[in-house]
């Protein structure tokens, strides 16, 4: 007898409830998304409306937000409430309830739901944009590092191979017996070409005596040199003082001319003054022109060391000397400027001179061949960097430049924050605007090689004058702090740590005595990159203050005479003159990001963010530089 067949168990036809959707994989507060069991019309807004703060001691109740609620058109006011909840919670990280803020909300809690709601709303927009910005900044950082490494290698190779200017070009000293053999002071034209020395001035009460005295003291035959003081002063007292100083030196046998434009017109500013000075009848017979700003003090042998390069090398148009600073130790801000400018001269100018025979004229402490200057089109006032404009145009004509790193001219650094900000605006806006105007002219030029075109367009303009400013501010002061708030975007360690470290070390080689200040230099440069970036975009777009020219304030010896004695208080300044809203705004942003990273993050960005926020705050309240009574 066979065993009875077992009947299969009856199938349960009842609808089983679907298991809840697991929480989203978010690194911070998570959101539990529930799926409705049946297609009923849930009250989407009710869930969001129930998000309220409980007391710090009470246990928040579990609340879930339906997935459809995030896309409901009726819940926009409630999403604003959720955003407010998130902002309030993050604010607690540095306000009165740290124990509440540092507690990670559990999935389904009111705080967790609000945070996740905010991330769900912002992620579709913020994450892609921030990821794109981070990628662009990383690419620009690599470009900047490659440029710095190339320049360092070029300088090292030039020194190892002995590519000094005296070996690259013919140089023979001018001897006094050449003048005597030619028949006295009036017959030494071949050995001593006619030199015009131009000194542009504008209300330079503190430094006019030093600059005029240094120019009149140059060791050159008296009948082969003309000192031209281009006085654009609007202060009648200063103008009279400058005129009297010129007359005093004229009484000593120096051919010095005081030129003041009629009616106080300053058309073209410095470029206009230089152009009108060159148009004088007595200037047309000169062969060379040496230019010194009002705070520059050349040594007596300056012309004897610079002119032989132009005398024996017909293809050279410019001899540029290096700057040294008489007030580098005046304050911490001047030490920071010294680091930047020393790198510019010891690396950037040296590389341009030794490899391409091209670099940007620094506007002063240089000697031009007048025929080359005229062939390039003379002085133009279309930008605020007339010196760089002239250098680029002369280079496109085939002329070469040489930089003499051992020929130094003393000058003064701006020691007040106001003067330095104006100077940096002009130095950042002008090159960007010139790049916009001359890009196609450089591309179409037929007299220079392709390699030199690439150097001028890519290295000289794009990387050094544009990318260097933009990446410093946007990447290190905007994008990296933003990744703290949007953890879905990660910056690789090589981009956030290794590249900036290598760039910093390469910049520090120019000033070994200030290596212990390199951290302060990094923080200060990041602060100033805010204005440089703004000025760069103004120049590229030709907007706003694109042609603004403010003469850099010089203090000279007046500062030491006015400095208060021990126990005196620093002079008071108006609040409006000391507060800088942009810096204070960036300081608040960085401080908030630092607090958030300290509370919720794990990448230790907060160390940099706190230090950088302090730097922005110090500059924002004007507590940097010299205070002038």
Catalytic residues: 232, 387
Rg of the chain taking only CA atoms, in angstroms: 33
Name the pairing type of β-strands 65-66 and 195-201: unpaired
φ/ψ (deg, to 5) at 315: -85, -5
In the numeric block, the tokens 């100033």 are attached to: 528
* Sign of the dihedral defined by the CA atoms of residues 579, 585, 588, 590, in that order: negative
End-to-end CA distance of the chain: 121
Q: If you count them, how many residues does the chain have?
A: 629
- How far is Cα 259 from Cα 281, in angstroms, rounded to an integer? 13
- Residue 257 has, within 13 A of its CA and on its CB side, a CA count of 17
Any bridge partners for residue 325, and if so which? Answer: 411
Q: Are 331 and 592 in contact (CB under 8 A)?
A: no
Name the pairing type of β-strands 316-325 and 366-369: antiparallel
Contacts of 138 (CB under 8 A, 6+ apart): 475, 491, 492, 495
- How far is Cα 618 from Cα 267, in angstroms, rounded to an integer? 37
Instruction: Name the E strands within 68-184.
Output: none
Contacts of 28 (CB under 8 A, 6+ apart): 104, 115, 119, 487, 600
- How far is Cα 257 from Cα 228, in angstroms, rounded to an integer? 5
In the numeric block, the tokens 């303009």 are attached to: 461
In the numeric block, the tokens 């900036």 are attached to: 500
The pair of three-digit structure tokens given for residue 467, joined into one six-digit string = 């990318």
In the numeric block, the tokens 């990448």 are attached to: 603
| DSSP string computed for 42-99 | --HHHHHHT--PPPTTSPPPP--EEGGGGG-GGGHHHHHHHHHHHHHHHHGGGSS-HH
Q: Are 117 and 82 in contact (CB under 8 A)?
A: yes
Contacts of 237 (CB under 8 A, 6+ apart): 205
Hey, what long-range contacts does 326-332 have (CB within 8 A, 24 or more apart)? Answer: 326/297, 326/410, 326/411, 326/412, 327/412, 327/413, 327/415, 327/555, 328/413, 330/413, 330/415, 330/559, 330/626, 331/415, 331/625, 331/626, 332/517, 332/520, 332/624
């Amino acid at each position: 007898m066979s065993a009875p067949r077992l009947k299969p168990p009856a199938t349960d036809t009842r609808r089983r409830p679907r298991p809840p959707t697991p929480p989203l994989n978010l690194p911070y507060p998570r959101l539990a998304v529930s799926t409705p069991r049946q297609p009923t019309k849930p009250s989407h807004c009710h869930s969001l409306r129930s998000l309220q703060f409980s007391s710090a001691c009470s246990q928040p109740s579990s609340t879930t937000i339906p997935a459809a609620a995030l896309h409901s058109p009726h819940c926009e006011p409630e999403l604003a409430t959720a955003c407010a909840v998130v902002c309030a919670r993050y604010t607690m990280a540095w306000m009165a309830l740290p124990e509440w803020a540092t507690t990670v909300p559990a999935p389904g809690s009111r705080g967790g739901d609000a945070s996740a709601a905010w991330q769900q709303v912002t992620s579709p927009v913020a994450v892609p944009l921030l990821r794109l910005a981070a990628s662009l900044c990383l690419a620009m950082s690599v470009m900047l590092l490659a440029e710095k490494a190339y320049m360092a290698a070029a300088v090292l190779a030039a020194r190892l191979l002995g590519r000094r200017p005296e070996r690259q070009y013919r140089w023979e000293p001018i001897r006094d017996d050449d003048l005597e053999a030619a028949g006295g002071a009036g017959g030494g034209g071949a050995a001593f070409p006619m030199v015009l020395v131009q000194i542009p001035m504008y209300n330079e009460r503190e430094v006019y005596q030093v600059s005029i005295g240094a120019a009149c003291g140059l060791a050159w035959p008296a009948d082969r040199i003309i000192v031209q003081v281009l006085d654009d002063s609007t202060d009648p007292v200063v103008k009279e003082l400058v005129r009297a100083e010129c007359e005093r030196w004229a009484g000593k046998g120096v051919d010095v001319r005081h030129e003041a434009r009629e009616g106080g017109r300053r058309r073209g500013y410095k470029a206009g003054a230089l152009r009108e000075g060159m148009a004088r009848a007595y200037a047309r017979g000169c062969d060379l022109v040496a230019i010194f700003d009002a705070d520059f003090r050349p040594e007596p042998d300056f012309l004897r060391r610079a002119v032989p390069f132009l005398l024996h090398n017909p293809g050279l148009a410019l001899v540029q000397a290096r700057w040294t600073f008489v007030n580098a130790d005046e304050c911490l801000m001047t030490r920071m400027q010294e680091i930047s400018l020393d790198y510019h001269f010891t690396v950037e100018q040296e590389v341009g001179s030794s490899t391409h025979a091209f670099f940007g004229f620094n506007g002063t402490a240089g000697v031009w061949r007048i025929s080359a200057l005229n062939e390039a089109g003379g002085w133009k006032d279309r930008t605020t960097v007339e010196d760089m404009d002239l250098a680029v145009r002369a280079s496109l004509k085939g002329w070469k430049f040489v930089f003499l790193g051992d020929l130094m001219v003393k000058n003064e650094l701006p020691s007040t924050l106001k003067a330095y900000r104006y100077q940096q605006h002009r130095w950042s806006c002008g090159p960007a605007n010139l790049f916009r105007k001359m890009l196609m002219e450089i591309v179409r030029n037929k007299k220079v090689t392709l390699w030199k075109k690439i150097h001028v367009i890519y290295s000289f303009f794009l990387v050094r004058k544009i990318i260097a400013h933009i990446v410093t501010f946007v990447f290190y002061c905007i994008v990296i702090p933003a990744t703290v708030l949007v953890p879905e975007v990660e910056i690789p360690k090589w981009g956030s740590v290794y590249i900036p470290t290598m760039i910093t070390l390469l910049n520090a080689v120019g000033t070994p005595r200030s290596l212990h200040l390199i951290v302060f230099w990094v923080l200060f440069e990041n602060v100033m990159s805010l204005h440089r970036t703004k000025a760069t975009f103004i120049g590229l777009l030709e907007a706003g203050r694109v042609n603004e020219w403010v003469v850099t304030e010089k203090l000279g010896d007046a500062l030491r005479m006015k400095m208060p004695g021990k126990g005196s208080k620093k002079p008071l300044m108006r609040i409006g003159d000391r507060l800088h809203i942009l810096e204070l705004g960036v300081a608040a942003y960085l401080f908030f990001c630092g607090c958030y990273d300290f509370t919720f993050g794990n990448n230790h960005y907060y160390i940099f963010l706190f230090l950088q926020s302090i730097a922005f705050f110090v500059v924002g309240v004007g507590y940097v530089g010299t205070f002038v009574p």
